[in-house]
Every structure is written in C-alpha cells, then in structure tokens.
Amino acid sequence: MVKKEDLLYLFIGQDYLAKDTQISKLKTALLPKESRDFNLDTVYAKETNLKTLQEKLLALAVKVKQRLLIIRGAHHLKDDLRQFLLEYLDSRQRGTVIVLEMDQESPDKIFMQALEKQARIYRFQQERAYNTFDLLRQIEAAHAAASLKILNQLLKEGVRPELILGGLRSMARSSGSPLETKKIMRLLLNCDLAVKRSLLNPAFALEKLVISLCGLSGFGKPKH
C-alpha cells in the first residue's frame, strides 16, 4: 500500500522485477504524469558523489509538494553519502521522498537501524546461497548461463578461485572417456596457470573455463 505521507522507502531484495513494479506504483501515486520528468531523479550509489546527492535532495519540487529520488544499489553508498542522508532525514524541511533500492541490507548496522526507524520497508525474495556443488551440477548439465551466474555469486561472496578450481578438478576425475578427462584437465591446468601467473583476471579466467567445460559432453558424467 503506497501512502503519500511516507517520506522514505526501503526496497530490499533481489527480485528485481517485483521491485521495479513497486517503484512504478510509487511513481504513479506520488507524481502526476505531466510533471514527473521535473520531479523524479534516479541515481546509482556506486557512481554518485556527495555533491550530486546534495543537489538531488535539495532541488525544489515543480508544481507538486514533493520530489521523488530513487537511489539504486543503496547498500553501496559511501560513508559521506550515508552521513549526509541521515542528516537530511533528520531535518524538518525535507521536500523529497526517497527510495533506497538495495540487493541486501547495508553492512553499516547503525545506518540501517536509523533508516528502519523512519522507513516503510518492502522486502523482496533473496537469491539463495550457492556452493561449488551447485556450480558443478550446472556445468554437468551444460547450462552455461546458470553456471556463470553461480560462479559470479561465489566470487562475490569471497570464495577463492583455487577452491573453485579444486572442486572442478575433483569432478573431472570421474568424467567419461579418458580423452574427455584429458581435455578437461588441460582446461583446468591452463586456467590455474593463468590465475597464478596473473595472465588473466581470475574471474575472467574462470568464466572462460566454465564456458569451455559446458561445451564438453563428457564433463561430470561417471565412467562405466
């Protein structure tokens, strides 16, 4: 339920379609279509500096009482931006409704606690945590897109490249024909050397490896 008196919204989660649907409802509820272009701003936390945030928050509304500012990826806000945002929220003259869109809660617990005291919070579905075995199963099924998605999440969560390679190597030993096993081990060795010698960025090297493995019919299939 969208209420015009709410001044701060937290949209937390990774169901991007559902989040965007709710944001669209909020735009419609708060801003007439004819003046929306003048009173709506979207910024991205990773790319936004303090000056830009100040300009967006302190801008005056045109033909409406309040503007709408959407901050995408707000869990990435830098220290100075978080501090200014809290100061703005504490002021009594704020004229901008703020939507903080984030994949997950900010690691700054004090910041989150302060926001939660004032915000209308919407929580959306989170992606489940994956492990190396999930990656192996997707590669075995030759699902390249799903494999890359899991790989990127593992790397984002701090799983070391050598651990991922170790898991892939253990699976290779139970592959189909000796020829397929030889191909797989060669790919793994080349990736390992590229990472250790800094010939390629580890993430890029692993992505190339995963795509190559997905193209090998014998990967992950047990010997008979």
Residues of the domain holding 186: 132-214
- Non-local CB neighbours of 31 within 8 Å, separated by 6+ positions: 39, 40, 64, 68
Give me the pLDDT at residue 223, please.
43
> pLDDT tens, 135-186?
888 888 888 888 888 898 889 888 899 889 988 887 766 656 677 788 888 9
Predicted structure pTM score: 0.57
Give me the pLDDT at residue 199, please.
82
26 and 99 both lie in a single domain: yes
95 and 171 both lie in a single domain: no
Q: What is the mean pLDDT of the chain?
A: 85
Task: Output the furthest CA–CA distance in the chain (Å, rounded).
Answer: 75
Residue 223 lies in a domain: no
Residue 1 lies in a domain: no
pLDDT band at 75 (very low <50, low <70, confident <90, very high): very high
Residue 2 lies in a domain: no
CA distances in angstroms from 73 to 66, 101, 214, listed in the order given: 22, 6, 32
155 and 119 both lie in a single domain: no
Yes or no: say if 150 and 224 are a contact pair by the CB < 8 Å rule: no
pLDDT higher than threshold 50 for residue 222: no
Residue 217: which of 176, 164, 166 has the closest Cα?
A: 176
